[in-house]
Structures are given as structure tokens and as C-alpha cells.
Amino acid sequence: MAGNTIGKLFKLTTFGESHGEAIGGVIDGCPAGLKINKDFIQLELTRRKTGPSFFSSNREEKDEVNFISGLFDGQTTGAPLAFVIKNINAKSDDYETIKEIYRPSHADYTYDKKYSIRDYRGGGRASARETVARVVAGAIAKQVLEQSQIKIIAYVSQIGSIKLQKTYKELDFKTIESNFVRCPDADTAQQMLDYLEIVKNNNDSVGGVITCVVSLCPIGLGEPIFDKLQADLAKAMLSIPSVKGFDYGSGFDAASMLGSENNDIFVIDNNQQITTKTNHSGGIQGGISNGEDIYFRVAFKPIASIMKEQQTIDRNKNQVTLKIKGRHDVCAIPRAVPIVEAMAAIVFTDHFLRNKAYLFDKK
Amino acid sequence: MAGNTIGKLFKLTTFGESHGEAIGGVIDGCPAGLKINKDFIQLELTRRKTGPSFFSSNREEKDEVNFISGLFDGQTTGAPLAFVIKNINAKSDDYETIKEIYRPSHADYTYDKKYSIRDYRGGGRASARETVARVVAGAIAKQVLEQSQIKIIAYVSQIGSIKLQKTYKELDFKTIESNFVRCPDADTAQQMLDYLEIVKNNNDSVGGVITCVVSLCPIGLGEPIFDKLQADLAKAMLSIPSVKGFDYGSGFDAASMLGSENNDIFVIDNNQQITTKTNHSGGIQGGISNGEDIYFRVAFKPIASIMKEQQTIDRNKNQVTLKIKGRHDVCAIPRAVPIVEAMAAIVFTDHFLRNKAYLFDKK
Amino acid sequence: MAGNTIGKLFKLTTFGESHGEAIGGVIDGCPAGLKINKDFIQLELTRRKTGPSFFSSNREEKDEVNFISGLFDGQTTGAPLAFVIKNINAKSDDYETIKEIYRPSHADYTYDKKYSIRDYRGGGRASARETVARVVAGAIAKQVLEQSQIKIIAYVSQIGSIKLQKTYKELDFKTIESNFVRCPDADTAQQMLDYLEIVKNNNDSVGGVITCVVSLCPIGLGEPIFDKLQADLAKAMLSIPSVKGFDYGSGFDAASMLGSENNDIFVIDNNQQITTKTNHSGGIQGGISNGEDIYFRVAFKPIASIMKEQQTIDRNKNQVTLKIKGRHDVCAIPRAVPIVEAMAAIVFTDHFLRNKAYLFDKK
Amino acid sequence: MAGNTIGKLFKLTTFGESHGEAIGGVIDGCPAGLKINKDFIQLELTRRKTGPSFFSSNREEKDEVNFISGLFDGQTTGAPLAFVIKNINAKSDDYETIKEIYRPSHADYTYDKKYSIRDYRGGGRASARETVARVVAGAIAKQVLEQSQIKIIAYVSQIGSIKLQKTYKELDFKTIESNFVRCPDADTAQQMLDYLEIVKNNNDSVGGVITCVVSLCPIGLGEPIFDKLQADLAKAMLSIPSVKGFDYGSGFDAASMLGSENNDIFVIDNNQQITTKTNHSGGIQGGISNGEDIYFRVAFKPIASIMKEQQTIDRNKNQVTLKIKGRHDVCAIPRAVPIVEAMAAIVFTDHFLRNKAYLFDKK
């Protein structure tokens, strides 16, 4: 079974290559009667595209989304929503020189071996450009989630070794978009920017971490034993290009904690509702949302395309020196913020519908 | 869609509750004609059961697996393999006193809210006892993988703050089973054991990390864009009870690395084969195995059932003091080693078959 | 992908061979909180088992269903429902003589070729005994459907060339169980019985047709374009052993009708509801239930095991004369009535949940 | 779960409405390295479009297929194949007058009730125009099947009460395309044409039957117990607009046959291969292809859009008289021939890959 579909009830299938005619997707399972806000979708696409002018790649795409089907009078009809974003500014000539070369830590080699044929232009199907389709689907998912109250917010919490020291509760999410690195803490953001300047001058790239917070999630999302909420989130995140790790709640830190530290004591809040004193569980217990904030971290490796010269191998096993042309991101993490949100929105919409299917008044 | 099935071509569906009649599973998609080594399955079940006598829970189960279907003359027939492991030593009375109580950081509360009804005996469906079915399926998956040469080995690399400082290449995997903590380094193992003694005396529990290494994996496993090998591994691992995080290759460390550090330079090895100088990619590039070792880490939280007194809430929102009866593991990480291996084996078998379906000589 | 699962939200996986330890199944996706009436399940199993004493096979099975998981205090918990029915009266020795022989119009040959190994005892996985698991799942599905008002009734409408001439509207369904052939018309039933007597005396078997009527189905079930209600019904019916055809509404007769004859004119009924004057659509338009009765026919071939001597071939391509031992049904159609109902119930439950997942108040 | 995807390993998702921008599809799971013959695809699309000039609807579409992704240098890359066929000649004004009206035996009413919103233009998603996407996918599937030798041929075997009396073995398939009704028997074809002339003059429409023959199918396709080959074929056929019935082999006729008549006796042919004397099994036994010809019938109702005046109801429950404007097919059966073939090709390709995944040399 090929792997270009994600979700069970809210199902996204994507298609398209970096330098093909278009990137696109089909959403099957979007509830009918939803008024689609296209401006919002465009806004999300812009967030994905935007980074600090001097850190971003030089490919300029309008990223206008065109819906081919599934909408009538601006509303979803229950039919599949197909959409495309044209590739306009693809300069395939840039890639002619490297069509035989396996770029280090790219997918060139594995695609070649798996499929015996490879669209080498701009990374083909393996390019991060594919994520525009995820962002469109995520923007629609976010609109479905408005039916409940679920809110999904992500931000950059680490670039290189510079880590945001505050927890998400201490941050003002409104400031996320106020700086180029999408870090909601002015001091840390400045340190990150300064550091990126150095990395850029060294013709290098650097990794980082995105933290995502999902609030107001109803109790009950997640389908044990295998489709636990955290399991589907992990899969969705690890499917994003360059992602190397995922943890939620106390995460990897839980490994060095005692049970008495990590356990979340149940208490009654001021509204006489059950809540927990701490939230090391990250809003999920037994694979099911418990009504607390869900938060998780996504680790990204540095972009593999660096401006430094690198040694590598070509298809014919010749040693070659690679000097990547064009300009590439020094750090893609800020631009990945809307992608993380989009994938989370798809997972939550899917689980929202999955949970709803089984809820009914018993006789 | 409910969530008790994992895999697409090698599909495992599990069932059973901690104190029900049995735990079991159905494997649909095991190739026909495979001679099943039942002793090996029983050995794997014993590995899951075994821990240091004084750290383990006092439930004594024989864990004998009985195959109901799918075998004929000891071979798989292509029909679904159904199996059960009886629950013999379940003492449900122990749980009578806590049937109304929400134990901290357990699934009691979320199951109650999601399903409105809950089998409270021993954690019911949410109990880690469910993992016996995973171990059986994993043991069969390992036997399918003998068709290729894939080898899967896991070990404990951290307990509490005690971390194994060596990389997997510096270790002798033959020593994994030589100590109670399944750590293939005698000194570190001793430190872990000493530390567990302290934790135990404090009536507490502690978390840890398991590292898993998959070697001799053929190039080409993994199905972009969503069913990347690391994505399906992440999902499988996060579906294990108590797991809080996953990373592979350079993982979370990649966040603070430069591209020039993290990139794996392609070189030609002594056999004139393409290989990489380093392996920060963790054997996966673009979601597809590249022939190098695949390695990943799985973070576990401390067991939620501790012997200390804890404050909590019951179904009727009364505050209660919880003192868990019986004896529970101080640290389940060593026992989770075969579970991590089993889930990995299921994922690799599934992807091995998925890849094979599309391989053929083109005209 | 192996094929032992049916349904998307109400998912049944079956396992077991005719002469193995047991036949069983796992239902994943049964809503929680349903009080299961086990007597009703047992009743359905008895309907499947029962036929006229002198027409039925001599295998006497108690067919007691044992639920391994998913029930607590007699209610579904949302966890998978696993169940087994033991094979007690299997006499495998009867089959020893034919283990190398390919019985005409049985699955011996194809199983041998597909899987290279075959459980020849009693037909193994290909035996109609497997349908006990379908009947159990169908009985549970019927109980889920009580949440809506959907009623599913099947009866025998043809045996050999003896056809029931009345439409389902002219019949009294209460009389279905009043005769051995499950035909709700006394005269036709008697003709069928007389005919079966002749067939029996000739050591032969004979085919037939079952008609199924689903009433009170809510409008809106069915998921275009591929999972149309009739498409999923057709698949479910054709998956039953010996089934050779399916049609619904005007069915094959529609081929010789004019549009002006076949079209169902919309009218307003006495309750001011929209209905249709005729119902050639069989209650489904555009793949979606329209609130009218859904009715369909299922054609069965004669049982392949006949008492007459037959020429055939064995594994080694030797010509052999086959004289089947034991006693076999002359006509399995009456016993297939509860199987057709069960498969219909599974399809309707699945679509009931699928439809419900997408229904919500739009903002 | 929405229903716009068919297939497991060769997966087709379709999208688009009759009068939307385009109809299209995504194929996920087409093996890599396949040289796509676009002329052949276009030819198949032309077959679907073509009928006798005076029987066909007046919509003139070029039906040019445009591949957006998945091809490189004319070959499949293993990435999803997305394609669109633009709707150019859609005249939505024709439908303005009927946007509130429920046309008899159309999907207007059920779509309205299920989704609460409906793209009424030309039938929207429920239009048979959607089948262009199936034909494109079928044409690609046929090219995959060239890897094996499977041949799929369909023809018209009945229009109204005029039935082709010959079996498929007596026919010369080369003559199928030689007449407007796609009936490979000149006399019967002429009778059909004469009859259609009468129907047309009466402003009526008429149903029919298509027979499909699949030859040279390897032994072993089909996945018991639920995904039997005939079950998946039945589903695929019943998903085609206007289809009311399916049977295979002796089909509905088997109901009136004796076991001794219907059983296919195994014999050894001149090449020392196992074959059957008769083929009432229709090439499938136990849900698995047995190497003989597979043949099945598909029954179609008459087109619901007739030129006669009809009484009906509108959204507001008013009685209205409907006089359909524009011109419509008198009989769509000839045009459905390539659609039946396409759906068969998709099913066989899917099962070809599914079977292949499990075939391997056992140690």
C-alpha cells in the first residue's frame, strides 16, 4: 500500500512534485455545509512561505490555491475537496547539474533505489514544497475544528543550542508572529536571530524545535490501543520533512523523573470540574484527551542543502564535489510552524469525527 | 473508526482486558508456508515477563500462547492467525476498592469519560498486560523477517538520570540479557540497579529510555509521503503504554547541530558499495531506509502505580487518599525491551511486504 | 492486503477453520454501553444451524458463543469484542481420503495454488462453517441498529426452478420460520419441499435465491462514489460462500424496462412526507438510502458436495473417482437466510456510524 | 469514512462535479517505471464518449486528460498520479430551472437530505460524468496488467428485451466496436438499433446488460474471506451509476441448477494442465481465480432522464411537472462498456498487487 494518504474519516491525499505542474491534494471526508474562508487558507499559506528575507530560499511562489471540486456557493458539499497550487517559479535548470548526484542527507539516493526512476528536479516528490498541500488541508481542518473549540498554536522553542526557557504558560502567543523566528519571547528571539546571522555567514544551516499547544480539546479524543492520540500525532509529525523526534507532556524528561514527580494529581477546580494539578501527561492519558492542554515538541534537523562545498557520490559511484547553487534557507524551523499546526489540525479533526461516530444516546 | 488494528499488509488486531478471560490477537496477512517456531514465541513472552525478582509486580502468569487458527502442520496457511493468552492469575478483588477512584496518571478517568462504562479490574483494556499480544505478533513478525536479514535489537539506555554513555556501536549486544536491567554495559547496569534499589525503598517508580537498533535492513522500505518509515515507527512506539517520546538518528540532538555536522557524506566502502561516513540520518532518508543501521530512542515515563500514598478524586468528585495495594514494578523499562522490539518487527514486516508488492520487472 | 476484515467503522475480522479449534471473530468499533442480549445471538446461531432434519448435514454442533473480551457487566465497553465458537463435532478422519483430491467446484484447488499449503480438513478456511462468526457479528449489529429503527428480514424466494410469485409486500414475514424452507408462502414452501425430496433421492443438490428486505432505514446511508450502499451490500453478499449474484430494486429486470416504467415518481404521502409511487429504486438513489424499503436478491449455486459419484483430479494430476462420504445438505439456501441478514446488518451498522460521523450542526 | 476511494494497493480517489471546473482523480500505488501510453488513455476516453450520434447526449467534451503529477519522462515515478479532465462544455443554465426539483430516480433528493446542500448543476457529483476519472484510471490499470497477461473485454449482451443468445465463446470480440451498440453479433446489434429507434421516438429510455470477460488471469487472485475476487468485482460494478445487478459464472441461473449440472469437473488438458470441463464457476472458486476465463454480467437500469413529461415534487413539497430540457441518451449501455472494463481493470490490478505482496520463496 502506497503512503500518500493520512487520516481515516478526515482523509488527505496529496500529490505533486517540486518542479511539476502543481502541488495539490484531495480531502475526502470534510463535513458538508462548511463555509470555507479562502482568505484564511491563503493567510496560512503565506505564513508557510514567509521567513526573514535574508534567511529564506529565493523561490518566489504566489501559492494561490485553486479548488477544483467539493465547493458550491462557497460551502463544502460533502464531495471530495480537490485543490491545486501551481508551481510557477520552479527553475529546473538549476538542478540539471546535480541530476546524477546524491546530495548528502537528501532523499536522492533512497528514491533512486526504491523506485529506479527519480524526478530529480528540486527534490521531486521529496521536496518540502509538498507541504503546501498539508497547509491547505490544515487550514480547512482548523475551520472544521471551529465546530468544537479546539485551538492549535505552535511556535519555535529552540534554534541551534538557543532554547526558550519559559514554559508555554508563561508566553504570550500573540507575539509569535511579531518576529522572524516565530519565538514568542523577544529576548530569545533576538538571540536566535543573532545566531542565525552567524550560521548564514558560515554558509551553514541549523536545526531547532517547535512546540505546539492544543487547548480546549474535548475529553475523549483518541482511539486505543493503536490509534492513541499521541501515536497519531507522532506519526503526523514524523511525516514532515526534516523531523527527527517527537515527545509530548513531560516527554524525554519523564525518563529521569520519579513517579511521584511525574504523576498528575486529580483535583476539583473552581468550576467543580475535574482537572489535574500538574500536566505532565500533556493532556492525554491512556491515549485519550483528558481536557487539559495538549502540548508536544517536534525536533527538526538542519536543512541538508548548505552553501558549503561537500564531498559526495554520483549514480555511477564517482566521487564528486557538490557546491549547491541558488540560495537556500539557513533555518526552515520558523516556516515549519504552520506545517506543524496543519498536521495537528488534520489529526484532531480526524479524531474529532472518529469519536463522534460512536457517541449516541443508548436506549 | 476504532483503533485496535495496526499495519496494512501485516495487520495485527488485538483484544482482551487485564482481568478478562484472555488477551489475544489476530494477524491477517502473514505469508503462507512459514514454519512457526513456538518456542521462540514463548521465549519472547518470557523476556517480557521477566525482571529482577524484587523489582517486578507480583502477578505470576504462565503466558502460554494458544493458536486458534491459521496454522496447519506447524505452518502458516495464509489464513488469519488468531491466538490467545489466558489470564490465570488475575486477582480482581484487589481492584474492588478502587473501582470508583481515578488513579493519577492512569487511564481510569479518560476511559470513563469516553466510553461511559469502564472495566476497572486491573486497568481493563488500558493495562500494559495488553502488550503480551504485541509480543506474540512481534515474534511472528521476526520470523517473517528472517526471509530478509533484518535484525532488531533493543536495550535499556537510560534509567532515571543514569544514562549509558556509549553509542550502540561500542556495545556488545550479547550482554543485554546478562543483567536485570537489560543494559549492555556492566558498569552502567550496576549503577542503574543501585539506583532502582533506592527508588524502591522510597516506594517510588522511575522512567527511562530504550534504544533500538535495526540492522541489515534492505534499501527501499518506507512509503512517502505520510507512511514514511520513521512515521510508522513513531506511531507504533507511541502506542505502547507509558511511552512519551520518540526520536531517530541524531534525533532531538539534531536541533542544536549545524547542517555541516549533521549531514551524512556519501562514500564508497571497501565492497564498492555506497554508504555514508556518519549516520545521523539513522538509516532513513526521505522516509525510506538507505541500507545503514536504523536506530531510534523511546522515552518512557515512570510507572503511575506507586506504593506511596497519593491524593486523588473519585467518580463522584470526592477527594480520596489512594494507597495502592499489591506490589508493582519500580521500573518497567527493562520489561519493555521486547515490546519495543515487537512493535518494530511489526512495522518492518509490514513495510517489507508493502515494498515487495510494487517491485517487479518492468517490460 | 489480506481480506479477513469487513467494515470501516463497525469492523469485523473473522478467523478459524472448519476443523480447527474454533471459529471466531473480533468486532472493533461496536459503540460502548450496549446491553448485549446473548440469547438473541444464540437464537440467530440456531437459525443458521437449523434445517429440515432430512436435508441437513449430519454435523451436530452446539455453536455456543463465548465472548473473550469487550463486555463488562453484560455491556459493551468500546473495547474490541472477541468471540469464539468451538468446533466440537469435527470429524477430520472423514477427510483423510480426500486430502489430495480437488473436489469439483470447491476451493481445494485454488487454495492449494494460492497458498501452496492447505488445511484440507472439512474445507478448512473455505468452509461455510466460517459463517457462524458472521452470524454472531450480525446479531450484535442488529442490536446496534435498534438505536435506529432499521429492520432486516430475509426469506427464501426461489429453490431450483420453483419461484415465489408474490412480491415482498404481499407476504406475511411472521410465517418465514413456520416451514423448513423459510419461504413465507405455504403453497410455494410445500412445492419447494416436494422438489427437495426428489433432489435428495437423486443424491443431488440444488440452488436458490434469497430475498432480503430492509425497512425503516433512515435517509442518508451510503457514501458515494464508491462506497454506495448497494456497492457495499453487493460486496458483503458476494463474500458469502456459494453466492453467484446480487441485484436490488428492479435489478436485472430493469435491463428490459423503459425509463418511463422504471422511474419512481415522487409524491407526497398522507403524513406530508416525500415518498415514491413505485420503488424500482429499491430504496437507494445515487448510492444513498431514500427512506423507502431497501430490497435485494442474492443468488446461490447448488452445494458442490453431492452424494453422486464424480470424476475429478488429484494434486498429482491423476484422474480419480470421488464419492463424498458423510451426509451433506441437499440445499443450504434456507440456512443461509440468517447469514444474508447478518451480512446486511453489518453493512447497515457500518453505514449508520459512517453517516453519523459527519452529521453536525453547522455554525 | 467518506467513500471516494477504491482499491487497497492500487488506490483510486476521484473528485469533481459534472459542471465544476474538472473531473479528476489520484492513483496512489501505481508501480514505478511504467511507460504510460497517453494515446491509449485518450482512446479509452473516446470510447466512453462515443455512441451513435442520434442516441447520445449533446454535451460535447474533448475529454483531454492532463497529468499533474507522478510522471517523469513519460514514466511513472511511484509518486501519486493526479490527473484532471476539464469540463468545458457544461451549460449550467439548463439546470437553473430544475434546481429546486427532485427528478424521479435521480440522486437529487438523497443528496439534498444527506448533505443538506447540493450542487444541482448537471447532477453535480452524482453525474455519470464522474466516470471519466474511472476510465483514465482503468486505462492505466490495463497498462499495469500488461505485466501479467490479463485481458479484459466487455460488450453489450442485452438492450431492453433483446438478448444476445450466444455465449462469449461463440463471439468474435473484434467486432465489438464495429457497431453503435457494441454488440459483437451483427444480427442482434441490428435488432437493438431498431429497437432503440422506437424508444427514441417515444421519448423514452431503456436498460440493458453488459457482459465482461477476463481471460488469462493467473491463478491465485482474490483474498478470502471478505475480499474475494467476485466480492470486490461486485462492489466495483455496483458503484457505477445506474447499475442494478451483478452476477458471475452461472450467476442467477445457478439458482435453478442441480449440483451435478453446475459443478465443474476437473480434467487435464492437452498441455497437461489442470482445467475444468465446464466453467459455471466463472473462473473463481472460493473467491480465488482458478485460471479459467472470468466472466460476469452487469445489469443497468434505463437512464432516468427521459424526454417525456413527468410528475414530481420540489424541495418545498410542491407538485410540479418536469419536462427535461436538452437532449439525453436513449440508452447509455454502449457507452458504459469501457466503464465496466475500467472498473474491472482497477480491481484486477489491485488484486494482482495484493497477491504479489505475499508471494515469496520460503526458506
Digit-coded pLDDT (tens) for B98-120 = 889 999 999 999 999 999 999 99
DSSP C168-224: GGGS-GGGGGGSTT--S-HHHHHHHHHHHHHHHHTT--B-EEEEEEEESPPTT--BT
Q: Where do the structural domains in chain C lie, given as residue ranges?
A: 5-358
| Residue keyed to cell 454488440 | D183
Cα Rg for chain D, rounded, in angstroms?
21
List chain A residues with CB under 8 Å of B205. 258-259
- A114/D15 Cβ within 8 A: no
Q: What is the mean pLDDT of residues C177-199?
A: 96
Nearest CB among A13, A66, A117 relative to D26 is that of A13
Distance from CA of D317 to the nearest CA of A (A): 22
Cβ-in-10-Å burial (0-12, 13-18, 19+) of D275 comes to: middle
Residue C54 has pLDDT above 50, yes or no: no
pLDDT of residue A363: 42
CA of D361 to nearest chain C CA: how many angstroms apart? 11
Q: Is A53 or A238 the better-scoring residue by pLDDT? A: A238
User: B interface mutation test: which of C27, C65, C69, C350 has the most B CBs within 10 A?
Assistant: C69
- C170's CB contacts (< 8 A; 6+ apart) are none
Q: Which of A204, A226, A363 to mutate to test the interface with B (most CBs of B within 10 A)?
A: A226
Backbone angles phi, psi at A346, to 5 degrees: -65, -45
* Stretch A286-298: mean pLDDT: 98
Closest CA to D216 of D296, D151, D147: D151
How many C-beta atoms lie closer than 10 Å to residue D363's C-beta?
A: 9
Q: So what's the pLDDT on residue B53?
A: 43
CB contact under 8 A, A267 and B358: no
How confident is the model at residue D360, as a pLDDT? 74
Tell me the pTM: 0.97
d(CA A361, CA C356) in angstroms, rounded, equals 12
**What is the per-residue pLDDT for B135?**
98
Element (H, E) at A352: helix A333-358
Q: Which residue of B has its CA nearest to D354?
A: B357
Report residue D342 as a C-alpha cell: 475500467
pLDDT of D49? 86
Based on its alpha-carbon atoms, the radius of gyration of chain A, rounded to whole angstroms, reads 21
Number of neighbouring beta carbons within 10 Å of residue B47: 21
The string of pLDDT tens digits covering residues C265-312 is: 999 999 999 999 999 999 999 999 999 999 999 999 999 999 999 999
**Dist CA B238 CA A228 (whole Å):** 8
Class at the top of the CATH hierarchy for domain A5-358:
alpha beta
What is the spatial distance between Cα B129 and Cα B92, in angstroms, rounded to a whole number?
14
pLDDT over threshold 70, residue C56: no
CB contact under 8 A, D29 and A114: no
- For A33, name the nearest residue in chain D, comparing CA atoms only: D117
Who contacts A342 (Cβ-Cβ below 8 Å, separation ≥6)? A44, A131, A134, A135, A137, A138, A139, A141
Average pLDDT, chain B: 93
**Could you give the CA distance from residue A111 to residue B190 in angstroms, rounded to a whole number?**
45
Task: Find the helix or strand (DSSP H, E) in which C25 lies.
Answer: strand C22-28
Separation CA A330–CA B315 (nearest Å): 53
How many contiguous H segments (helices) and E segments (strands) does chain C have? 8, 19
**ipTM of model:** 0.97
> Which uninterrupted H or E stretch holds C158?
strand C151-159
Nearest C-alpha in C relative to D285: C107
**b/e map of D327-343 (b: 16 or more CB within 10 Å)?**
ebbbbbbbbbbbbbbbb
Other Cβ atoms within 10 Å of C49 Cβ, number: 18
pLDDT of residue D329: 83
C279-292: burial string, b at 16+ Cβ within 10 Å, e else:
bbbbbbbbbbbbbb
Give every CB contact of residue D292 below 8 A, 6+ residues apart in sequence. D264, D275, D276, D279, D281, D282, D283
The model's confidence at residue A57, banded by pLDDT at 50, 70 and 90, is low
Q: Which residue of D has its CA nearest to C207?
A: D255
The DSSP letter of residue B128 is G
At B166, the amino acid letter reads K
Q: List Cβ neighbours of B210 (8 Å cut-off, separation of 6 or more).
A: B154, B155, B156, B157, B297, B298, B300, B333, B336, B337, B340
> Which one-letter DSSP state was computed for residue C305?
-
Read off the pLDDT of residues C87-140 as tens digits, 9 standing for 90 and up. Answer: 987 776 767 778 899 999 999 999 999 999 999 988 899 999 999 999 999 999
Nearest neighbour of A256 by CB, restricted to B1, B111, B160: B160
pLDDT at A96: 77
Residues of C in contact with B3 (CB under 8 A): 28
**Segment C303-320, tens digit of pLDDT:** 999 999 999 999 999 999
Q: Where are the beta strands (DSSP E) in A170-273?
A: 208-215, 243-248, 266-268
Residue C39, classed as helix, strand or coil, is helix
pLDDT at C362 over 70: no
Q: Low-confidence residues of chain D, pLDDT below 50?
A: 52-54, 362-363
B340 and B240 in contact (C-beta within 8 Å)?
yes
Q: Give the ranges where chain C is alpha helix by DSSP (H).
A: 38-49, 93-96, 108-115, 131-145, 186-201, 229-238, 259-262, 333-358
How confident is the model at residue A199, as a pLDDT?
96
Q: What does the pLDDT average to over B236-256?
A: 98
At residue A5, the pLDDT reads 98
> Is pLDDT of B122 > 90?
no
CA distance C5 to chain D (A): 6
Strand-pair partners of D13: D5, D26
Nearest CA in chain A to B158: A255
Relative to beta strand B294-300, strand B81-86 is: unpaired
Looking at residue B324, its pLDDT comes to: 81
**DSSP secondary structure code for residue D96 in this structure:** H
pLDDT at B363: 42
Instruction: Tell me the pLDDT band of A49, cut-offs 50, 70 and 90.
Output: confident
Judged against a pLDDT cut of 60, whether residue A52 lies above it is answered with no
Q: What span, in angstroms and rounded, lies between the C-alpha atoms of A61 and A87?
A: 7
D154-192: b or e for each residue (b if 16 or more CB lie within 10 Å)? bbbbbbbebbbeeebeebeeeebeebbbbbbbeebbebb
Q: What is the pLDDT of residues A172-211, one digit of tens each?
A: 999 999 999 999 999 999 999 999 999 999 999 999 999 9
Chain C residues lying within 8 Å of D358, measured CB to CB:
2
Sequence length of chain B is 363
SS3 state at C350: helix
Nearest residue in B to C115, CA atom: B32
- D6 to chain C: which residues are within 8 Å by CB? 226
For residue B79, the SS3 value is coil
Given a cut of 80, whether residue A362 has pLDDT beyond it is: no
Q: What angle do CA D104, D110, D116 make, to 5 degrees?
A: 130
Query: Under an 8 Å CB criterion, which residues of B touch D?
Result: 1, 8-9, 29, 31-34, 78-79, 146-147, 224, 353-354, 356-360, 362-363
Which chain B residues have a beta carbon less than 8 Å from that of C22? 68-69
pLDDT at C92: 66
A86: enclosing H helix or E strand: strand A81-86
Cβ <8 Å between B301 and A308: no
What is d(CA B221, CA B359) in angstroms, rounded to the nearest whole number? 11
Contact criterion met (CB < 8 Å) for D5 and A17: no
Burial of D360 (0-12, 13-18, 19+ CB in 10 A): middle
